[in-house]
Amino acid sequence: MRDYLELTKPRVTWLILMSTAVGYWFGARSGVDWLVVLHAILGTALIASGTFTLNQWYERDADARMRRTERRPLPTGRVTPRQAFLFGMALSAAGFVELYWGANALTAWLGLFTEASYLLLYTPLKQYSWHSTTVGAIPGAMPPLLGYAAAEGRLDWDAWALYAILFLWQFPHFYAIAWMYRDDYARAGIRMLPVVEPDGASTARQILLASLILIPVSLAPSYLEMTGRWYTIGAVVLGCLFLYAGWRVARERTALRARGVLLASVIYLPILYGLMVLDRTGL
């Protein structure tokens, strides 16, 4: 069971569920329906777990060539490709049904789009172009939309503001990972930006640029009157600290500085979400 659980990447899934819950919180202006929340969280967890399982099924050969993934269940043979495929398909189908009947049709179709674009566009593109990171950010930013759709039954500017924040956040986060594990990616034939341009200058620019743009974009909830003054202050402070981590990696293109960006990213998002939730207007 531990091997099957590992296929679902639970440490990543909790971030997805956090984003889904925040999306629901802002969509539920007329009140929280806890049963719908449960269905939305469970359905999103199932469809995300299915997506990650099928992703590892597809990339099992590449994973076997990378040191950080060679001990995963598929490369080691602890789970067979057939078992992983059937497990991933069952989770995905269960997630779609859960979202469709427990939330609404829009949420279910958004979940299906997320999985399809991740598996059919982002995953194979990694072998051909570093632009896969941009393509992958599209499904990667979908969780708030799923939560919002589950609450509201539609998407408006508030939902897209949450989407834009998560979309931009992914670039410093994943480019930092790509820089730290560039040798692994090169061995597996995955064309991440630091593999294509090994000096790291372009990677550092992308991190710095995304961190900079994220500051005004993170203020979109304030512009839309979703949040109050305390969120605005906190978002600016957090954004500047995140930008500082990006500036440091631009000055010193080392694995240590890249790890600093990664750490800043995993601290930034939960705190930003916390400020949003606590300072939501109209409570």
Q: What's the mean pLDDT in 79-88?
A: 96
Q: What is the pLDDT of residue 209?
A: 96
Looking at the structure, tell me whether residues 71 and 202 fall in a common domain.
Answer: no
Specify whether the CB–CB gap between 196 and 179 falls below 8 A.
no
Looking at the structure, tell me whether residues 258 and 209 fall in a common domain.
Answer: yes
Report the alpha-carbon distance of residue 177 to residue 146 in Å, rounded: 26
Specify whether the CB–CB gap between 63 and 123 falls below 8 A.
no
Q: What is the pLDDT of residue 31?
A: 85
28-53: pLDDT as tens digits: 987 889 999 999 999 999 999 999 99
CATH code: domain of residue 28: 1.10.357.140
Q: What's the mean pLDDT in 190-201?
A: 91
Q: What's the mean pLDDT in 274-281?
A: 93
Looking at the structure, tell me whether residues 37 and 101 fall in a common domain.
Answer: yes
Looking at the structure, tell me whether residues 99 and 201 fall in a common domain.
Answer: no
Specify whether the CB–CB gap between 104 and 129 falls below 8 A.
no
Tell me: pLDDT of 283 over 80: no
Looking at the structure, tell me whether residues 76 and 136 fall in a common domain.
Answer: yes
Looking at the structure, tell me whether residues 56 and 165 fall in a common domain.
Answer: no
Q: What's the mean pLDDT in 57-67?
A: 93
Chain mean pLDDT for the chain: 94
What's the whole-model pTM score?
A: 0.94
Give the list of residues 6+ apart from residue 203 with CB closer than 8 angstroms, or none.
Answer: 175, 178, 179, 193, 194, 197, 253
Tell me: pLDDT of 81 over 90: yes
Residue 227 phi/psi, 5° resolution?
-130, 170
Looking at the structure, tell me whether residues 140 and 184 fall in a common domain.
Answer: no
Tell me: pLDDT of 263 over 90: yes
Q: What's the mean pLDDT in 155-181?
A: 96
Looking at the structure, tell me whether residues 216 and 269 fall in a common domain.
Answer: yes
Domain count, the chain: 2
Give the list of residues 6+ apart from residue 181 with CB closer than 8 angstroms, or none.
Answer: 66, 68
Tell me: pLDDT of 281 over 90: no
Where does the pLDDT of residue 200 fall: very low under 50, low under 70, confident under 90, or very high at 90 and above?
Answer: confident
Give the list of residues 6+ apart from residue 62 with CB closer than 8 angstroms, or none.
Answer: 69, 127, 188, 189, 190
Tell me: pLDDT of 282 over 90: no
Structure tokens at 5: 């659980």
Q: What is the pLDDT of residue 29?
A: 82
Residue 59 phi/psi, 5° resolution?
-100, 20
Report the alpha-carbon distance of residue 41 to residue 282 in Å, rounded: 24
- The whole domain housing 263 covers 157-283
